[in-house]
Amino acid sequence: MASVVAQRQFVSNRLIIRAREREMAFSSWSHLRLRLPHLARTQSLTVRAFSAAVMSPPSKAVVYDRQGPPDSVTRVVELPPVEVKENDVCIKMLASPINPSDINRIEGVYPVRPQVPAVGGYEGVGEVFSVGSAVKGLSPGDWVIPSPPSSGTWQTYVVKDQSVWHKINKESPMEYAATITVNPLTALRMLEDFITLNPGDGIVQNGATSIVGQCIIQLAQYRGIHSINIIRDRAGSDEVKEKLKNLGADEVFTESQLEVKNVKGLLTNLPEPALGFNCVGGNAATLVLKFLRQGGTMVTYGGMSKKPITVSTSSFIFKDLSLRGFWLQKWMSSDKTNECRPMIDYLLDRAREGKLKYEMELVPFNDFHTALDKALGKLGSQPKQVLTF
């Protein structure tokens, strides 16, 4: 009898345990069923976040792994897509020039240069291809330039933070938008930063055929300022003089024409210049100094002859001349971004009006090494080379 009771108790306990197991299982399933929509939403959000990652297209770029002769160390390669983060903008490059400073960076002789391996190029214009989720004020199709300039413009697609890009008027001529920041901005800053020039004043410069020189002539004329221009002796100098006068130059002299005791006697109805610009050095710099009036200032922004500037003691004592220097990159690194961009817009306005122009040659990106040879002077004197993508 006792065994029967014990057996019944055992069966009863098993039934109770199974009931509790079913209850717990049902409770767990109910809880899981309630959680399923949340889990599904979480999984969906995770999938959407992963799928929302924006990537740039693959890019073709001019790269160099070491510094040296540009025609030896540069090569065109394919770069893989990169992620466009929330504050990034992906730009499809339209055009970018080959500047002397670009060549110097690759050679390793420019004071500021990117770490290698690097993509060449420093300025240019592009079209917004895509934007990150947090980007404001830029949309696909907008035209932008890096402002201040930024390394790596010799490639078909560039991805950088939105703060790098300055939106410009799409009616701007593409080749001028690509080249507006380095040379024209240098000309503008030098005209404005050292002395106050008023309409009717004069300036003098050597290297007048350079793009900076041509911009100085045109910006000065636009403001009613006279320009005296010095060019080197060469074949075809008469044609060069005519070209510069068509841009607005008041006087153009070859260096040999200025081998006279009193160069100011060559000026007829022009005022003695208060400001001079030197990008050559050597004797060409001395000629600029000879034209300056009492208390005048000469600004040096280049040294193409690689010869030193020699100044007589009397020029300092009796004429009280001042010698200054200008380097655009240093100026722009002084937190000048907000100040710089309206100046670029001003210069692009002049280009659209036809009041700022200079000669350029547009070259397809696939012909990069031909353009590089021209920029290096291998094929004689050539216009500025501008790569188009």
Q: In 3D, which of 160, 85, 88 has the Cα closest to residue 124?
A: 160
Tokens at residue 371, please?
A: 């353009």
Q: How confident is the model at residue 15, as a pLDDT?
A: 42
**Cβ–Cβ < 8 Å for 130, 90:** yes
- Tell me the H-state helices in 62-114: 70-73, 100-107
Q: How confident is the model at residue 311, as a pLDDT?
A: 93
Q: How confident is the model at residue 330, as a pLDDT?
A: 87
Phi, psi of 277 (to 5 degrees): -125, 135
- Hey, which residues does 126 pair with through a beta bridge? 93, 144
> Residue 299: CA atoms inside 13 Å, Cβ hemisphere, count?
25
Q: Distance between alpha carbon 26 and the CA centroid of its chain, in Å?
A: 67
> Which residues in the chain come in under a pLDDT of 70?
1-52, 334
Q: What is the C-alpha separation between 3 and 33, in angstroms, rounded?
A: 45
Q: In 3D, which of 366, 364, 358, 360 has the Cα closest to residue 387?
A: 364
Question: Which burial class, exposed, middle or buried, applies to 326 when counting CB atoms under 10 A from its CB (0-12, 13-18, 19+)?
Answer: middle
Q: How confident is the model at residue 52, as a pLDDT?
A: 59
Question: Which burial class, exposed, middle or buried, applies to 301 when counting CB atoms under 10 A from its CB (0-12, 13-18, 19+)?
Answer: buried
Q: In 3D, which of 148, 178, 174 has the Cα closest to residue 160?
A: 148
Q: What is the C-alpha separation between 295 and 297, in angstroms, rounded?
A: 7
What SS3 state is found at 377? coil
The model carries a pTM of 0.84
**Cβ–Cβ < 8 Å for 177, 125:** yes
Question: What's the 3-state SS for 168-186?
Answer: ECCCCCHHHHHHCCCHHHH
- Hey, which residues does 228 pair with through a beta bridge? 204, 251
Q: Is 110 among the residues known to form the active site? A: yes
Strands 83-84 and 88-97: unpaired
Tally Cβ neighbours within 10 Å of residue 5.
9
Tokens at residue 151, please?
A: 């390394």
Q: What is the C-alpha separation between 19 and 118, in angstroms, rounded?
A: 72
CA dihedral 69, 325, 206, 296 (to 10 degrees): -170
Q: How confident is the model at residue 267, as a pLDDT?
A: 87
328: CB partners within 8 A, 6+ apart:
182, 185, 186, 189, 301
The tens digit of pLDDT for each residue in 220-244 reads 999 999 999 999 999 899 999 999 9
**Cβ–Cβ < 8 Å for 180, 346:** no
Q: What is the C-alpha separation between 311 and 285, in angstroms, rounded?
A: 9
- Tell me the H-state helices in 250-299: 282-291
Q: Which of 64, 110, 122, 157 is catalytic?
A: 110
- Tell me the H-state helices in the chain: 2-51, 70-73, 100-107, 174-179, 183-193, 211-222, 237-247, 282-291, 313-317, 328-332, 337-353, 368-375
